[in-house]
Structure 1
C-alpha cells in the first residue's frame, strides 16, 4: 500500500484544485448577474404596465362623473374656456365643450385618492420611493419596488416651443397639466441598490372627446 502521491498525481490534484477555485467564483458571479437582469426585466415590465393603466384612466376624479374640460385655478390663461363660444384654444365645434351646465361646477381637484378603487390618475399617487438618485425604498419589502408620483405643473406655452415642466406647483394650485413619474428601485430585501428605471409622462386637461354625429339616410 502506497503512503504518498506520485508527482503526476500531485500535479493533477493541483490543476483540479486550481480549476475549481477559478471556475466556481465565475459561476457564482454569472448567476448573480443573471438574477439582477431578471429583476430588472420584471421591474421594467411592471412599471410599463402600471404607466399604461394610469394613462387609460380619467384625468381627474371629476372626469369620472362628467366628460367636461375642468376649470383650474392656476393654469395658463390661454387655455381658459371662452364663455362666448363654449370652447377654448384647440377646441372644435361639436367637441370638447368647456362650459358646464347651469348650477354645476366642474373643477379640477387636489392630488389624492378619493376612492377605494383606482379610477383616475390621482389614485396612483404614492410616494413610497424617495426622489433621490438612489430610489430609496427602505420601507418596502421585496426585490424591487415601484413608486408613482402625480403632481400639477405649469402649463406649456400655447404658442411657439412648448417646454414641459417637472416642478410641482404650490399646494392648492391646480393647472391643466399633470406630471406623472413612475420610478422603480431595488427593494430592501435585494442585494442591490439604486434606481432601475424611471418613466415620465405629461397628461393634459382636455376632457373626453365629444363629437356631434348625424345618421345618414
Structure 2
C-alpha cells in the first residue's frame, strides 16, 4: 500500500504555517520593543551612575578646609538672605551651636561661579561629556551592547528664595535652571544620548557642609 498525505493533513499543515507566518510580525515587534526598553534602561542606569560619581565631589572648591579636614557652609552671594552666615557665631539659622557640628567657613569663603578649574568640585563636571563605547559582552569592561552612550552633565545654580514669617516656611520659589546667580542649591542634570535615546536625570546638592568626627576616646 502506498503512503500519502491525506487532504485533512494537508489542510492542517497549511493552517499551522499560516498561523506561524501571521505571528512573525508580532514577534519582530515584540523583539524591537524589548530592545528599545533595554536601551532605555541602559541609558537611565548610565546617567544615574554618572550622577552618583559627581555627588562624591565637594559642593564647591571653597567648601573643603584642608587644615580642618572638613567641609564648611559657604556664603551664597545671591542666595536666600535669611540663610546667610553670622560673622560672630559662624552659623546660620538652623545650625546647632555646639562643637563638631555643621558651621560656616571661618574665613568667610563664598560660593564660586560655575566653571572648570580641574576636577575638585561638582560644577567642574559642567559640559564635560563622556562617551561609553558599545562592546560585546566579555570583550570589554562594559556591557552596553546596543549602542554608544554619550553622557553630558549640566551644572547650574537653583533659586532658593523663600518668605519667612511667624508661621512655618511659606512661598518657596524654586527655579532649577537659575544659572546666572550663586545660591545654596546646585542642579545636577545628566543627559544620556545615543541610539535614538535622549534621557535626562536631575538631582540637587545643597550647601550644608559637614559635621566633624568626634575625637577618639581611649577604652576604659
TM-score, normalisation: structure 1: 0.69
Kindly provide the CA deviation profile for residues 124-182 of structure 1, in whole angstroms up to 9, marking residues without a partner as x.
32286xxxxxxxxxxxx9454433221112225365147462343353x2111112223
Q: Does 1:100 align with 2:106?
A: yes
Q: Does 1:113 align with 2:127?
A: no
1:30 matched residue in structure 2: 30
Q: Which of 170, 174, 177 does residue 182 from structure 2 map onto?
A: 174
CA shift for structure 1 position 12: 5.8
State the SS of the aligned residue for 2:62. Answer: helix
TM-score, normalisation: structure 2: 0.69
What is the aligned residue count?
A: 189
* Cα distance between partner residues in 2 of 1:154 and 1:210: 28
Listed as ranges, the matches of 1:1-217 within 5 Å are: 11=11, 14-15=14-15, 17-66=17-66, 67-92=71-96, 93-94=98-99, 95-101=101-107, 106-115=109-118, 118-126=119-127, 142=147, 144-157=149-162, 159-161=168-170, 163=172, 165-169=174-178, 171=180, 173-185=181-193, 187=194, 190=195, 192=196, 195-196=198-199, 198-210=200-212, 213=215, 215=217
* Cα distance between partner residues in 1 of 2:111 and 2:8: 84
* Cα distance between partner residues in 2 of 1:127 and 1:113: 9
Moved more, 176-185 or 158-167: 158-167
CA shift for structure 1 position 38: 1.4
CA contact (8 A) 2:158 2:187 kept: yes
CA shift for structure 1 position 84: 1.8
CA contact (8 A) 2:117 2:124 kept: yes
* Cα distance between partner residues in 2 of 1:205 and 1:99: 11
Structure 2 unaligned blocks of 5 or more: 130-145
Question: Structure 1 45/170 Cα, relative in aligned 2: closer, same or farther at 3 Å?
Answer: closer
Question: Structure 1 184/170 Cα, relative in aligned 2: closer, same or farther at 3 Å?
Answer: closer
CA contact (8 A) 1:156 1:165 kept: yes
* Cα distance between partner residues in 2 of 1:109 and 1:47: 25
CA shift for structure 1 position 8: 6.3
Question: Structure 1 143/170 Cα, relative in aligned 2: closer, same or farther at 3 Å?
Answer: closer
